[in-house]
Amino acid sequence: MPALQMLHDRDPKEALLDKVGDLSGIEIFGSDVLVAIYRRPEKTKSGIILADSTRSEDRWQSKCFLVLKLGPTAYLDDEGNRFRDIKEGDWVVARCSDGWEVTLNTLKTGISKEDTVSCRIFSDHAIRARVADPDSIY
């Protein structure tokens, strides 16, 4: 069990995927991986309320991400064999600074902060681990 279990209104994976919406118009090239940054909710299960400044730092310091799209050669060796079974929908761990920041504009209600999803693009080798629970990493 994570040391700081967060209180989620709904499953964080489902919430992020719903917010991202249709990604059919985005093509990731080569061995790159598009991930959404996991941002913790406001409150822990034990009732501790995180400061807004702490939560906003997740954009820059988070180490846990949800895989959204894989490039066509991600995790393929020179012979075309897949050497790691990372797939869309997996929670993964990486050093935030190893990725390139991008912000997806979901355009659901216009252009506002609520219509964006903070993301990163990593080379496949920059992703270090897969985890079952995003709250287990920080």
In this prediction, residue 40 has a pLDDT band, given cuts at 50, 70 and 90, of: low
Residue 113, pLDDT score: 60
Residue 1, pLDDT score: 47
pLDDT at 81 over 90: no
Domains of the chain plus CATH, in order, are: 12-38+62-136 (2.30.33.40)
Q: What is the DSSP letter of 38?
A: P
Q: Is 137 helix (H, G, I), strand (E, B) or coil?
A: coil
pLDDT at 9 over 80: no
Mean pLDDT of 29-43: 84
State which amino acid sits at residue 6. M
Mean pLDDT of 12-32: 91
Mean pLDDT of 101-130: 81
C-alpha angle 138-91-19 in degrees, rounded to nearest 5: 100
pTM value?
0.82
Residue entry with tokens 């066509």: 72
Q: Which of 34-48, 50-64, 113-127 has the lowest mean pLDDT?
A: 50-64
**64 or 88, greater pLDDT:** 88
pLDDT at 87 over 60: yes
pLDDT at 117 over 90: no
d(CA 43, CA 50): 6
Report for 77-81, 116-120, 127-131: range of highest mean pLDDT = 127-131
